[in-house]
Amino acid sequence: MAGASFLLYQKRDSLLERWDPRMKIVAVLLFGAALLLTHSLGLKTVQLLLLIVLWGMAKLSWRVLVFTLLSLSLFFASTMIYQSVLTAVPGESMITWGWLSFSSQGVIRGIMMCEQIAGIVLLLALLVRTTSPIILAEGLEMLLKPLKKWRLPVHEAVMMFSIALRFLPILIEEFDKIRKAQLARGGGFHRKGVSTRFRGVLPMLMPLFVMSIIRAKDLAVAMESRCYQGDEGRTPIRVYRLRVSDYAVFSFSIVNLAAIFVW
Amino acid sequence: MIDIRDTTFYYNMPQDDEEDAGRKPALSHISLTIAAGEFVAFLGRNGSGKSSLSRLLNGIELPTEGTVSVEGHVTSDKAALSAVRRIVQIVFQNPENQQVGITVGEDIAFGLSNIGWPQHDIANRVAWAINLVGLDADEDRPVSNLSGGEKQKLALAAVLALAPRCLILDEATSMLDPVARRQFVATLHEVRKQYPFTLIYITHHLEEVTDADRWLLFRAGKVVASGTPNVLAQDTRLLEDCGLELPYYWKLAGLLRESGISVPSDMNELELRELLCKSS
């Protein structure tokens, strides 16, 4: 359950929750681009620290932050090994530590790559944990509105996305129930070798898949009976107006992106 | 209000090949009318056709043969479907599978948004619906934090917000514990006193529909009996045949009658207790 908890929205009345969803999505894209394009360790570290400050401002749990970063530790370790040991370029200064020798440039590259991975994950977690799926979907739909001119099913795609987010906790809970039921019957993938564990996954995924189909069918019927017929004739639930804070977020994201070309 | 004429319904139309030759319809030649404001209970075993008929009334499914019309709108007319759904709303069995919003307010607003409710009034209407069903939650409360009974009250609020003139409860209490079930039924009757809509109640629990105007007993896709609860309750064999069991106090009243004690047929639980206390 905790594995996907970083993806779950909970109302906390924070400043970030009050930001306009359109601006949040744009800011995430701009910040993400800045994270990917920055080649300076200092700037990447500042960006990561900034995301941690935003995490605090969003009143999100520090425990979840630590858990999220720890869950990436395997990625961090493999990235560090790959960058510092396996991609060492001849001529780079080498650091020798016991029998191990690695490139000092590679270590910096590895740290930057780890910061990048952590930054992207925190950025997305910040977006989905501070924005209700329906508000997120509305924001996304407003941003993608121009694509409707080419008859792209923007509303339907966004609705599917928001429902998928809405049902994520239910599916996780269901997976947990099936896992425990399989364990109670002597099955499951908690013991023996890798192949046995791997084979144990299938009996859990199949019932989950079937349940998901049944739920999706029931939900479709319920939505239809509540007069849902796509975006035809729908009233927006909320009216979004950009405020000074939203413009400030946008301006900051632009400055952050521009900074990488200056630094 | 609702007029069903010689309606037959198959979930999958039978083909002429051998395998499908024996496939039976979910509903077979049903004809009935339901008057505005009536409280009708659909009773019968699982698979007897109760839920299938309720889906035809909301236009989720269309009849294979015959017609279903709601306040003059024929459900098979695509142009009338939206009007039909505004008139007839359904609360389903599993509350989790009918909630779209992540918070109470979002879920109620979903239906309002679909019918083009004026944007400036959506928040008021959401608050009105929450208050109407007595849901002890504000509109920002996450749906996942509600108990089973509260989730079903939310489902009720979400459909009542759309001001339906006919409400169908499709085994809406079957996933609730006895206390939550009693509360849900009490809430429903309270709401109905204020807004006397047509109520179609699908259940296996007869004690929830003892005060219905009419019971319709379903068996194998057909309506085998229709009448007031007092009349149909006398035919215990028919009820058993339809997989139904009378409430304990009706059974007791029947046994007392068999022993020669005069017990009026319209006696409720409390009146029977009073009678027994007096006689002792």
| pLDDT, average across residues A38-50 | 90
Q: Is residue B270 part of a domain?
A: no
- Chain A residue at shortest CA distance from B123: A237
C-alpha–C-alpha distance, residues B59 and B82, integer Å: 9
Q: Hey, are the CB atoms on B114 and A226 less than 8 Å from each other?
A: yes
Does residue A247 share a domain with residue A227? no
Q: Is residue B272 part of a domain?
A: no
Q: Is residue B93 part of a domain?
A: yes
Q: What is the pLDDT of residues A222-232, one digit of tens each?
A: 999 999 988 87
Mean per-residue pLDDT of chain B: 89
**A61 burial level (CB within 10 Å; 0-12, 13-18, 19+):** middle
Which domain, by its residues, includes B74?
2-229
C-alpha pair distances (Å), B107 with each of A191, B95, B112 = 42, 12, 9
Q: What is the pLDDT of residues B167-221, one digit of tens each?
A: 999 998 888 888 888 888 888 998 998 888 999 999 998 888 988 999 999 999 9
**A10 burial level (CB within 10 Å; 0-12, 13-18, 19+):** middle
Closest Cβ–Cβ partner in B82, B97, B109 for A218: B97
Q: What is the dihedral of CA B204, B210, B211, B213, to 10 degrees?
A: 70
Q: What is the pLDDT of residues B61-113, one digit of tens each?
A: 999 999 999 999 999 998 899 899 999 999 998 888 888 888 899 899 999 99
> What is the nearest CA distance from B156 to chain A, expressed in angstroms?
12
- In chain B, the number of structural domains is 1
Encoded amino acid at A256, one letter = N
Q: What is the pLDDT of residues B245-258, one digit of tens each?
A: 888 888 888 888 88
Residue-level length of chain B: 280
Does residue A201 share a domain with residue A97? no
pLDDT at B165: 94
pLDDT at A155: 87
Q: Hey, are the CB atoms on B101 and A169 less than 8 Å from each other?
A: no
| pLDDT, average across residues B254-273 | 81
Q: What is the pLDDT of residues B23-57, one digit of tens each?
A: 788 999 999 999 999 999 999 999 999 999 999 99
Q: Among A248-257, B218-227, B271-280, which stretch is predicted with the lowest mean pLDDT?
A: B271-280
Closest Cβ–Cβ partner in A218, A225, A237 for B85: A225
Does residue A245 share a domain with residue A173? no
Residue A6 above 50 pLDDT? no
Q: Is residue B158 part of a domain?
A: yes
> How many other C-beta atoms are found inside a 10 Å radius of the C-beta of residue A240?
15
* Closest to B92 in 3D by CA, of A79, A101, A214, A141: A214
- Chain A residue at shortest CA distance from B94: A218
> What is the nearest CA distance from B199 to chain A, expressed in angstroms?
16
Does residue A75 share a domain with residue A88? yes
Q: Quickly state the pLDDT bin for A7 (edges 50, 70, 90).
A: low
* Closest to B159 in 3D by CA, of B71, B101, B62, B88: B88
Residue A3 above 60 pLDDT? no
Q: Hey, are the CB atoms on A11 and B103 less than 8 Å from each other?
A: yes
Which domain, by its residues, includes A244?
1-131+239-263
C-alpha pair distances (Å), A5 with each of A68, A129, A165, A168, A169 = 9, 9, 12, 10, 8
Q: At A205, phi and psi to the nearest 5?
A: -75, -35
| pLDDT, average across residues A30-55 | 92
Q: Among A132-136, B95-99, B234-238, which stretch is predicted with the lowest mean pLDDT?
A: A132-136
Cβ–Cβ under 8 Å, residues A166 and A133: yes
Q: Hey, are the CB atoms on B162 and A169 less than 8 Å from each other?
A: no
- In chain A, the number of structural domains is 2
> Using a CB-CB distance cutoff of 8 angstroms, which residues of chain B are in contact with residue A167?
none
Residue B222 above 70 pLDDT? yes
C-alpha–C-alpha distance, residues B85 and A222, integer Å: 11
Does residue A243 share a domain with residue A226? no
pLDDT at A192: 66
Does residue A182 share a domain with residue A154? yes
pLDDT at A1: 44
| pLDDT, average across residues A91-117 | 81
> How many other C-beta atoms are found inside a 10 Å radius of the C-beta of residue A138?
20
pLDDT at A189: 62
Q: Quickly state the pLDDT bin for A221 (edges 50, 70, 90).
A: very high
Residue A66 above 50 pLDDT? yes
Q: Quickly state the pLDDT bin for A100 (edges 50, 70, 90).
A: confident
Q: At B65, phi and psi to the nearest 5?
A: -135, 155
Reduced to 3 DSSP states, what percent helix, strand and coil does chain A have, rounded to the nearest 5?
A: 75, 5, 20
| pLDDT, average across residues A100-125 | 88
Q: What CATH code is carried by the domain that includes residue B81?
A: 3.40.50.300
Interface mutation target, options A8, A10, A237, chain B, most CBs of B under 10 Å: A237
The more confidently predicted of residues A91 and B25 is B25
C-alpha–C-alpha distance, residues B207 and B16, integer Å: 44
Q: What is the pTM of this model?
A: 0.79
Chain A segment 182-221 residues within 8 A of B by beta carbon are: 215, 218-219, 221
Residue A239 above 80 pLDDT? yes
Does residue A63 share a domain with residue A188? no
CA count, 13 A, side-chain hemisphere, B96: 19
DSSP assignment, residue B9?
E
Strands (E), B144-266: 166-170, 198-203, 214-219, 222-227
Residue B126 above 60 pLDDT? yes
User: What are A24's two structure tokens?
Assistant: 């949040």
Does residue A81 share a domain with residue A192? no
pLDDT at B144: 82
Q: Is residue B245 part of a domain?
A: no
pLDDT at B22: 61
Tell me, yes or no, if A133 comes closer than 8 A to chain B by beta carbon: yes
Tell me, yes or no, if A134 comes closer than 8 A to chain B by beta carbon: yes
C-alpha–C-alpha distance, residues B53 and B42, integer Å: 9
Contacts 24+ apart (CB under 8 A), A120-125: A120/A32, A120/A35, A120/A36, A121/A6, A121/A68, A121/A72, A122/A48, A122/A51, A122/A52, A122/A55, A122/A65, A122/A68, A123/A28, A123/A31, A123/A32, A123/A35, A123/A51, A124/A28, A125/A6, A125/A7, A125/A68
Helix (H, G, I), strand (E, B), or coil: what is residue B146? coil
Does residue A243 share a domain with residue A225? no
C-alpha–C-alpha distance, residues B2 and B73, integer Å: 9
User: What are B40's two structure tokens?
Assistant: 């009708």
Closest Cβ–Cβ partner in A170, A234, A239 for B113: A234
Does residue A107 share a domain with residue A10? yes
Strands B214-219 and B222-227, sheet pairing: antiparallel
Does residue A143 share a domain with residue A172? yes
C-alpha–C-alpha distance, residues A169 and A175, integer Å: 10
User: What are A150's two structure tokens?
Assistant: 């080419």
Does residue A123 share a domain with residue A161? no
pLDDT at A2: 43
